[in-house]
Amino acid sequence: MQTNTATLNLLLLFVGLSLNAASVNAEESKAEKGKAVFAQCAGCHMVGPDAEHRFGPTLNGITGKPIASAEGYDYSEVFKTAASDGMAWSVETLDDFLKAPMEYLPGTKMAYPGLADESARANVISYLATFDAEVLIAESKVEESNVAEPAVKEKAPVILAKDVEVPTHGVLHLGRAAHVEEISAWDIDIRPDGTGLPEGGGLATDGAEIYDAQCASCHGVFGEGEGRWPILAGGFDTLTDDRPEKTIGSYWPYLSTVYDYVRRAMPFGNARSLSDDDVYALTAYLLYLNDLVDEDFELTSANFASIKLPNEDNFISDSRIEEPTFVSEGEPCMTDCIAGLAQVVQRARVLDVTPDTEDDEAGAGLD
């Protein structure tokens, strides 16, 4: 009987342990899946020990934390109001917020449509829970205190002017010539004829996956633009309208600009994070979104220069000297060019960039 109870207890203990282990594993795999979901957030948010604010605040230790409490981040009014009402983030409020941020807190700066999928939300919340603000602070304190102070501070050697070798190059004899590597790190421009393109290529279908994960939250699933983020596709035949929709397809003259721009500046907040082949794939997909190539199109360094954008011919090369008005005017006037007082003859009314003032009408007298 004794032994039986003991065995039973042991058994129960064992079941309990393995249940525990199973739920820990489940939580780990949720967090693992959430990491993939977080790719959609990473353009705006950072997590981890080196996290900094991007377009959105850092999210370390977000669960359980009061809303709008990341130091040094300028939240929207609605976030600030929620903070003064004492709102805090729990698994539940995070879930409600992430389902439709702009509906949950209308006026939020988080221009992100939300995660409709319940398990995607649960996973990303689990992933965020792995970044604990307290632990991170504690760890960094430990690291700091481990750095031993040098017993005697070394004095910086005094350099006398007479011992400094004066550079002989250049006009000012200052600095040194830039290293080849330093120049090449900046020298990433791509010209319309393809000069500057890296070797490689990418499929539009691969670009679609990267786009959905890293671009669609701002630029829309079809390039139609979420909220006020830029539109990347369509707008054909609108260039002569009052408000033309200038997209890659309708307006941009050269494909090289797309490659160069995306590689240099996107995704917004996480620039230079894409590989060269990712950029090829995305450029191919942006062509597809503009109905300029088929879904299975592959863009490579070899076929790049052969792709023409529809509006290229409406751009003229402007060598200025040969430009007709310049030629007829001869030397430009630089002093006393207008007889009498200068007058305002036009206002940027359509763009509405001229600020309104009380005596607007009277002042301008042109409407």
* The one among 104, 236, 268, 326 contacting ligand HEC by CB under 6 A: 268
Residues 6+ positions from 209 with CB-CB distance below 8 Å: none
Between residue 143 and residue 162, which ones bind ligand HEC under the rule CB under 6 A? none
Q: Which one of residues 31, 44, 47, 122 is an interface residue with ligand HEC (CB under 6 A)? A: 44
Q: Segment contacting ligand HEC (CB under 6 A): 50-58, 296-304, 322-330, 345-353? A: 50-58
| Shorter beta-carbon distance to ligand HEC: residue 87 or 347 | 87
Query: Residue 220's CB: how many other CB atoms inside 10 A?
Result: 19
Q: Which string of x and - marks every residue 96-125 that binds ligand HEC (by CB under 6 A)?
A: --x---------xxxxx--x--------x-
Residue 163: CA count within 13 A, CB half-sphere: 4
For 166, 212, 267, 278, the CA distances from 283, given in Å and listed in that order, are 48, 14, 13, 9
Residue 46 touches ligand HEC, criterion: CB under 6 A? no
Q: Is 256 in the site for ligand HEC (CB under 6 A)?
A: no
Using rule CB under 6 A, residue 203 touches ligand HEC: no
Query: 347 phi and psi, to 5 degrees?
Result: -125, 150
Structure tokens at 178: 């830039």
Query: Is residue 348 exposed (0-12), middle (13-18) or buried (19+ Cβ within 10 Å)?
Result: exposed
Closest to ligand HEC by CB, 41 or 194: 41
Alpha carbon distance 11, 360 (integer Å): 85
Which member of 59, 197, 299, 309 binds ligand HEC (CB under 6 A)? 59
Copy the structure tokens of residue 199. 């070797």
Contacts with ligand HEC, residue ranges (CB under 6 A): 40-41, 43-45, 55-57, 59, 62, 67-70, 75-76, 79, 94, 98, 108-112, 115, 124, 214-215, 217-219, 229-230, 232, 258, 261-262, 266-269, 282
